[in-house]
Amino acid sequence: MEVNSYLSKKAQKELKDAIEEAGGNEVFFTGQITAEGIVSSVKIGARGKEDTVLVNFSDTREPSSAVLIHNHPSGHLMPSDADLGVASNCAENGQGFYIINNDATDIYVVVEAVKPKTIKKIDVENAGALISAGGALSKISEHFEERPVQIALLENIAKTFNNGKIGVFEAGTGVGKSYSYLIPSVLWAISNNEKVVISTGTINLQQQLCEKDIPAVEKIIGKKIKFVLMKGRQNYICKRRLSDAASVLDLFEDETDEIKNIAHWAESSASGSKSDMTFMPSENVWTKVNSESDACMGMRCPFHNECFVMKVRKEAAAANIIVVNHHLLFADIESRMNGAGYADAAVLPPYKHIIFDEAHGIENAATSFFSESLTRFKINKLVNQMYRKRKNSNIGHLCTLAILSSNEEKADSAFELTSKIKNALTNLEIAASDLLQDKYTVRLCDASARDFGPLLVAVGELSRSLGTFTDMVREVMEGIADEDHDAPSYWESKIILRRLDSYVILLKNFLQWDEKRDNVYWIQKKRLSPELSRESASADFYIFNETPLDISYLMNEGVFEQMESVICTSATIKTGRDFNYWMKRSGLMLSDRERISAAEYPSPFPYEKNMLFAVPSDAPLPDSSQYQQYIEMVIPRLISAAEGRTLVLFTSYESLKSAHRTAIASLKGFSGRIMKQGDDDSSRLLEAFREEKESVLFATDSFWQGVDIPGEALSQVIIVKLPFTVPNDPVFVARSEAIESRGGSSFMELSVPEAVIKFRQGIGRLIRRSDDKGVVIVLDRRIYEKRYGSIFIASMPPCKKMYEPISEITKKINSFIFD
């Protein structure tokens, strides 16, 4: 074989020099190849002895590792049996496998390298023309209106794909960003036979993409495409677990009807997805029948050919576009970072391109996914499933395992061990109660470490008790013969053990908090509902939390460095005049700046004409003792001025409840409904608010974003306070301290920009289409009187503004909305 046909002169020299440096012993390399299939450069993976070298599998998983190379110092280049084993894996992974002599002048090609495929770039101009006047969209849309800003965004996203960049694009309400990223995504995926993953923050957007937008894009480009909405496997029924649960209904006396209903529904369901059910099963029942990775028997499962999870995975493997939520994407990224690599399937099929829609929520989504928590309820539930005494009899999976096991006697200690766990849980709750007293949160840190002493003793006791119990269960399971591994209790126990193990790790991390400064360890006190508190010794319970302090390095290493292109888009990424805050928090600042393209695409809606922004100049400051009384006085006046049609956004639920009571008392003759968050399910509240045009909704938290009420039903948004995070939030405080410790200003680098993004989300609830008209009232005059207020003002769309007494504002509201 001609060595120059496979190795460039540069690569030959690199190989020869590295082998000489290793004393002529075997060296393992990975190599990159050109479009012609010639190795252009190599990377040393491992150095060995005269006749053997380790394969560095970590390097082989790198996307750039097109070929594996090692030398035979003897000059005899025929592959050994070990070589052929590695070569077989190379063939499966589409990698070449070469053996060379020490001078790199002779070569034996065991497996030919796969030449890089030629990438077909998107024709940017033609892609933009699809949504321009006279283009495909104009011919199928009854109310088509060309949006130059939408075309510009689409063209920039297409260039991001073509150039392998990271795009950060803020697209205001009404730009039409879904078409702007879907069309380039589909064109790229079809032309290059690659997958594009679209990750969103809300179920509503996922459904809109799959049910409306992607089918519309098929019509626009004139081609059918394969797309799939993927959910975590816990969202699907496992037919084996359902069959097992249905066969022992007498063990689940209170759940018999639910399990029967699910079994009947599953017989005719095409998806097996919980969201497609016509009824909502209880959480206890669902966790007995849903799909779990640890309970999956794979090919051994009698229902393998009917498996709902396998079905959706097959669809995903063949799809061009995969729609997921941020949580599922991070589950996939975690699996790949923990060893699965980026070349093969993990939770999702392999992919090289990601679209993050609703990208403003990436940090919160990643923080939530990579956090861990436990409560006494979670632990008790798992332990009781494994073993409990009931009416003088022993029940639970352990009893079945013991019958099957040659180590049956090990289970005799079950009662003693579970009793110790329950005693340890009681001691932990007592210690937590003593520690928190009248507080609702407390963080484990240098300042509080001494106070945590008794609680950490209780944490250690629970960790040891759980560890001893899980060790005993494993000993019992080890005594079960292979032919009995198909027993349902064996697989259910694997799930329980994995979860209990994760709690043991969390408890040990609490004990080692001082060595794990990358995480925040904190405890939260919550109150049981009245129904549950009657059945419990205490109305309070405690949540033990582990939260990552900073997700930026994880995002950069796991996402931005690995993907060929990433597009991040949202209506609210900027704070003030730049993207720096979001880019720092999301990890993008750690990436190569030359790869990053950032741009703003403002809303085409006529805010200057249709939106009034007003701040009462006579309002007391929020830290005044008169502030709550003031807002309770003015909110009814503002509601009356707008004739209802008002969304009132709070940062405190206690403040909300008090203001809501006052508003009902003050507006006795008001014809509309005055609703508050918590009165009903959120979706039903929004539906009522949308349908009843004079209604009012008092809300907090999640209602600051994602609420889409176009038309007359929403004509006024009242923001009670600028949405700064409460200063006693443990994670926020820890992040603030980290900024201060490096000499920064936590207020200007964290508090203000975080509040600005939430503020922008809040005011964005008002104008949802071009003919919407209304008023945003901010009752917090710090926005005009504090220096940082200018950052909030600069982040708003251009509109009419008022800073006058409340009496003047209420006069203006009615005429502005209705004239």
Structure tokens that stand for 359 in this block: 């990208």
Q: Which of 107-116, 261-270, 654-663, 677-686 comes out lowest in average pLDDT?
A: 677-686
Q: What share of the chain is helix, strand, coil (3-state, %, to 5)?
A: 50, 15, 35
Read off the pLDDT of each residue in 626-655 and give the average, rounded to a whole number.
95
Nearest-angstrom CA–CA distance, 76 and 80: 10
- Rounded to 10°, the helix 239-247/488-511 angle is 110
Q: What percent of the chain has pLDDT over 70?
A: 98
Match 């359902």 to its residue by tokens: 242
pTM higher than the cut 0.85: no
CA-based angle 429:430:434, to the nearest 5?
115
What is the gyration radius of the CA atoms in the chain, in angstroms? 30
pLDDT (0 to 100) of residue 683: 80
Residue 38 CA: distances (Å) to CA of 6, 32, 67, 235, 315: 5, 8, 10, 46, 35
Asked whether residue 1 carries a pLDDT value surpassing 80, the answer given is: no
Q: Is 197 helix (H, G, I), strand (E, B) or coil?
A: strand
Q: What are phi and psi of 117, to 5 degrees?
A: -75, 155
Asked whether residue 143 carries a pLDDT value surpassing 90, the answer given is: no
Asked whether residue 131 carries a pLDDT value surpassing 80, the answer given is: yes
Closest CA to 718 of 664, 660, 672, 778: 778
* Structure letter (DSSP) for residue 671: -
Structure tokens that stand for 775 in this block: 């008023």
Asked whether residue 614 carries a pLDDT value surpassing 90, the answer given is: yes
pLDDT (0 to 100) of residue 802: 95
Per residue in 327-345, pLDDT (tens digit) is 999 999 999 998 888 988 8
The pLDDT confidence band at residue 644, using thresholds 50, 70 and 90, is very high
Give the chain's end-to-end CA distance (angstroms, integer): 85
Structure tokens that stand for 769 in this block: 């289409």
Nearest-angstrom CA–CA distance, 10 and 16: 10
* Structure letter (DSSP) for residue 405: B
Per residue in 103-124, pLDDT (tens digit) is 999 999 999 998 887 889 999 9
Nearest-angstrom CA–CA distance, 481 and 490: 11
Closest CA to 33 of 101, 111, 105: 111
Most confident listed range (141-145, 566-570, 578-582): 566-570
Asked whether residue 649 carries a pLDDT value surpassing 80, the answer given is: yes
Nearest-angstrom CA–CA distance, 388 and 397: 10
Structure tokens that stand for 762 in this block: 């809040």
The pLDDT confidence band at residue 532, using thresholds 50, 70 and 90, is low
Match 């073993």 to its residue by tokens: 387
pLDDT (0 to 100) of residue 684: 84
pLDDT (0 to 100) of residue 705: 84
pLDDT (0 to 100) of residue 535: 53
Nearest-angstrom CA–CA distance, 372 and 606: 45
What is the CA 290 to chain-centroid distance, rounded? 20
pLDDT (0 to 100) of residue 701: 83
pLDDT: which is higher, 539 or 610: 610
Closest CA to 287 of 309, 323, 259, 268: 259
The pLDDT confidence band at residue 176, using thresholds 50, 70 and 90, is very high
Asked whether residue 252 carries a pLDDT value surpassing 60, the answer given is: no
Q: Which of 524-533, 638-647, 748-757, 776-785 comes out lowest in average pLDDT?
A: 524-533
The pLDDT confidence band at residue 650, using thresholds 50, 70 and 90, is very high
Asked whether residue 533 carries a pLDDT value surpassing 70, the answer given is: no
